[in-house]
Amino acid sequence: MIATVGPWARDKLDKLGRYLEYYTTVLKKQKWRTIYVDAFAGGGVAAVRKRPTTGVPLLDEVVDVEPDQVEFLDGSPRVALELNNPFSRYVFIEPDPKRVAELEQLVADYGDTRTINVLKMEAADGIRWVVGRNITKKTHRGVAFLDPFGACLEWESVEALAKLGMFEVVINFALNMAIQRMLPNDANIQQSWSDTLDRYFGTHAWFDEVYFRETGLFGDGVLKKRDDYSDRLLGLYRRRLESAFGFVSMPRLIRNTRNVPLYYLLWAGPHKKGQEGANYVLQIGEKLTKAQKQGTSVVAQ
Ligand SMILES: C[S@@+](CC[C@H](N)C(=O)[O-])C[C@H]1O[C@@H](n2cnc3c(N)ncnc32)[C@H](O)[C@@H]1O
């Protein structure tokens, strides 16, 4: 049996690859050294289910299927290694020993032509390692791909990258897959989930974006979930990215094969040109609403 992800991983990797091609092409004649950080790297190969599994899961969770039910795709590390204009350095962060062994194989395959560090650790520690190197705006430019399965990306890590002033990030914002599941209608959230969301957003402001106290004749001051809480959470995260980095992209919604929303891809960075490239790439193949085209949807919140 092989652990697999859903076919929508193709869409994510396609957008990542296109953006990285754009980025490295724009920078190829510039003086800076370039660095690619894959903080939730996986193993270098994505085993994708040919058909949806029956019943659950419809979401992007790892499930086991028979080998003849999968096809293999280059995972994000290989997508980045195969660029026409490669980065000067690659940092792959991954705590899972089996996936680390696969990443070490990438070092064996690409090590002659690419400079690669494989860090067997959690993303937060790996990003601290990166930030602690002598990487400055004067000498470097970089992209970090932050692609957790759930809500284990910490805002502190995102902010640390932003503070260097030379990183752009491409983020899997796991709204529908992970975050919504932690938000019961009655606001009775497990403390550990509340703590996870505080770390994820870097603030407790997410709570008021999701819940309000119903007052009035029959309301009795009980906490209720807002109808538009998803848009509000996306808006909150995007505003935080914009204030940390300077620029944020339009969101790209990734759906499963039954058109159910799974997560958003978001870009943030310090340059308008990056934002233009990201907006262009992220809208490819997407049917935008009129409000999204005019940039008046969640961005304006
Ligand atoms: C969605 S997968 C990554 C897929 C990969 N980016 C790709 O597109 O091919 C998430 C990965 O994060 C790893 N992971 C889980 N918790 C982590 C953590 N705290 N820090 C870093 N990686 C973690 C998992 O082992 C898994 O390989």
Q: Read off the CATH number of the domain in which 63 is found.
A: 3.40.50.150
This prediction's pTM: 0.92
Closest CA to 65 of 7, 11, 13, 104: 7
Q: What percent of the chain has pLDDT over 90?
A: 73
**In the predicted model, is pLDDT for residue 300 greater than 50?**
no
Residue 94 CA to ligand 1 center (angstroms) comes to 6
Residue 45 confidence (pLDDT): 86
**In the predicted model, is pLDDT for residue 179 greater than 60?**
yes
**In the predicted model, is pLDDT for residue 124 greater than 70?**
yes
159 falls within a domain: yes
Flag the least confident range among 58-62, 204-208, 234-238, 241-245: 58-62
How many structural domains compose the chain? 1
Atom number of ligand 1 nearest to Cα 5: 1
Domain that holds residue 140: 2-176+247-300
Hey, which bits of the chain come out as E strands? 2-4, 33-38, 45-49, 63-65, 70-74, 89-93, 116-119, 140-146, 167-173, 211-214, 222-225, 247-248, 252-255, 261-269
Residue 278 CA to ligand 1 center (angstroms) comes to 22
Q: How many CB atoms lie within 10 A of CB 188?
A: 7
Q: Rounded mean pLDDT of 35-50?
A: 90
191 falls within a domain: no
202 falls within a domain: no
216 falls within a domain: no
Q: Which residue's alpha carbon is at the smallest distance from atom 18 of ligand 1?
A: 122
Atom number of ligand 1 nearest to Cα 122: 20
Question: With bands split at pLDDT 50, 70 and 90, how would you rate the model's confidence at 157?
Answer: very high
Give the Å distances, CA to CA, from 111 to 4, 93, 103, 123. Answer: 27, 16, 11, 22
More confident residue, 78 or 55: 78
Residue type, 79: V
201 falls within a domain: no
**In the predicted model, is pLDDT for residue 256 greater than 50?**
yes
Which residues sit with their C-beta closer than 6 Å to ligand 1? 13, 40-42, 46, 75-76, 93-96, 99, 122-123, 147-149, 152
Q: Which residue's alpha carbon is at the smallest distance from atom 22 of ligand 1?
A: 40
Q: Rounded mean pLDDT of 290-297?
A: 51
Question: What torsion do the CA atoms of 125, 128, 134, 135 make, to the nearest 10 degrees?
Answer: 110
Average pLDDT in the chain: 90
Six token digits for residue 45: 């190969």
**In the predicted model, is pLDDT for residue 44 greater than 90?**
no
Q: Which residue's alpha carbon is at the smallest distance from atom 12 of ligand 1?
A: 40
115 falls within a domain: yes
Question: With bands split at pLDDT 50, 70 and 90, how would you rate the model's confidence at 70?
Answer: confident
Asked if residues 57 and 181 have their Cβ atoms less than 8 Å apart, the reply is no
Residue type, 41: A
Atom number of ligand 1 nearest to Cα 43: 27
**In the predicted model, is pLDDT for residue 239 greater than 90?**
yes
**In the predicted model, is pLDDT for residue 58 greater than 80?**
no
**In the predicted model, is pLDDT for residue 7 greater than 50?**
yes
Q: Which residue's alpha carbon is at the smallest distance from atom 17 of ligand 1?
A: 122
Q: Rounded mean pLDDT of 192-205?
A: 98
242 falls within a domain: no
Q: Which residue's alpha carbon is at the smallest distance from atom 1 of ligand 1?
A: 149
Six token digits for residue 198: 């505080």
Closest CA to 117 of 46, 27, 39, 171: 39
Residue 297 confidence (pLDDT): 46
220 falls within a domain: no
Question: With bands split at pLDDT 50, 70 and 90, how would you rate the model's confidence at 56?
Answer: very low
